Chain A
């Protein structure tokens, strides 16, 4: 049973608009959440993270929101750019930062 779920396998957004990628988790022991972006033939690269004691973290065009009671987080990209087209993975870990669980990914396409 997947502990981290990304229920949308793909998402298409127009350039300049907002992209919202969603992630749900089931394990209440998760303490830290991360988003990674992956281009084809490359390893994932870290985007942004959030601790369970916060409900929002912002870095430039990227904002992550955490709703702990709903076990839900989302990544907002504003404004979306064609270079943002990639697969986005949501990941979660406990407070030791050692055992990571990744979601299946969402493929984002930003159309010019």
Chain B
């Protein structure tokens, strides 16, 4: 079974703090994704990566950065957390060029106070 793990299920941070969310997948997938999920808006793509050290902006990259130094690991960084970044963050991974289904981690509920 594909496993996607996220470093924390719940996180509370203060405004202005630097926040790291980490995602690890164990299926050697090329593609990895970071989304945020907000009520009424569904999942919105923040960044994706199709290879080590490669990254592409999604629909809402402002205020976020990412890092992919190893194939299995994809980190989302909030350089200076703000209250409007309070959300559920979901990491996904998938194979390139085979099928487009993604496998998701359980999510991290981030609260910025």
- Segment 59-112 of A: residues with Cβ below 8 Å from B: 89, 91, 93, 97-105
- Segment 83-108 of B: residues with Cβ below 8 Å from A: 90, 92, 94, 96-97, 99-107
| Interface 0/1 of B41-72, CB less than 8 Å to A | 11111001010000010110000000000000
| Contact count band on B | 20 to 34
Jot down 29 A-B pairs with beta carbons below 8 A, ordered by A. A32-B100, A34-B100, A34-B101, A41-B106, A41-B107, A42-B107, A43-B104, A43-B106, A43-B107, A44-B43, A46-B101, A46-B103, A49-B100, A49-B101, A91-B43, A97-B94, A97-B96, A97-B97, A97-B99, A98-B31, A99-B45, A99-B48, A100-B33, A100-B45, A102-B42, A103-B42, A104-B41, A104-B42, A105-B42
Give B contacts to A, CB under 8 Å.
Answer: 4, 31, 33, 35, 40-45, 48, 50, 56, 58-59, 90, 92, 94, 96-97, 99-107
Known: A43-B104, A98-B96. 19 other contacts (CB 8 A): A32-B100, A34-B101, A41-B106, A41-B107, A44-B90, A44-B104, A46-B101, A49-B101, A89-B43, A97-B97, A99-B56, A99-B58, A100-B33, A100-B45, A100-B102, A102-B42, A103-B42, A104-B40, A105-B42
